[in-house]
Amino acid sequence: MTTLTGLLPALTGNEGIWIFQSNLPHFSIAKTVDTLQIGDVGAWYVQEHADELRGGDLVLLWEEGANSGLYALGTLVGDPYEGEPLEPGGARAQWIRWRLDAKLDPPVSKAELQAHDVLKGMRHFDRKDTTCLPVTSEQWAALKELLHTDPSFAPVVGD
């Protein structure tokens, strides 16, 4: 059974919900989550949906690969910005800051999600070429149920 350490981000219904997917060997969300404490802020490379991402949106931090799974939950902090290039000498890249709100131990596995009637339809299973995909409110409700939280539980998490 997965243990949630931290708090579920509060949602008013106006926020977007996103999966941020790390693709090995380029980046490991598992290693990043291990080094961060609840409340720490990191930056994420925005490859797509930059015009839709906004501060306050919920992010589900997923790692693809041999140990694929949902490792953490977070909240976007601010809007996307132009920052450092991905490679030295390259074009400046779009980034967005995110705050770590909760860690999942063990991570929710790909098999667990694919066995669930609602969650098996999440789009990231078929997309290895993207780092950011939308999640429906129905999928978020099902995920909270899978994590054994009260579906109405949404404490306020400070900025």
What percentage of residues in the chain have a pLDDT greater than 70?
79
69 is a domain residue: yes
In a domain, 127, yes or no: yes
Contact indicator for 2, 143 with CB cutoff of 8 Å: no
- The candidate with the shortest Cα–Cα distance to 29, out of 100, 125, 129, is 100
Domain-embedded: residue 90 = no
* Per-residue pLDDT reduced to its tens digit, 78-124: 999 999 888 888 888 899 999 999 999 899 988 888 888 888 877 66
Residue 123 inside a domain? The answer is yes
Residue-level pLDDT at 155: 41
66 located within any domain: yes
Q: What is the pLDDT of residue 123?
A: 67
Q: Is the pLDDT of residue 153 over 50?
A: no
CA 35, CA 105: separation in Å to the nearest integer?
A: 14
Number of domains in the chain: 1
Full residue range of the structural domain in which residue 9 is found? 3-40+54-77+99-146
pLDDT in tens, 20-42: 988 766 678 889 999 999 999 99
Identify the three-state secondary structure at position 77: strand
CATH number at residue 122: 3.10.590
* Domain contains 152: no
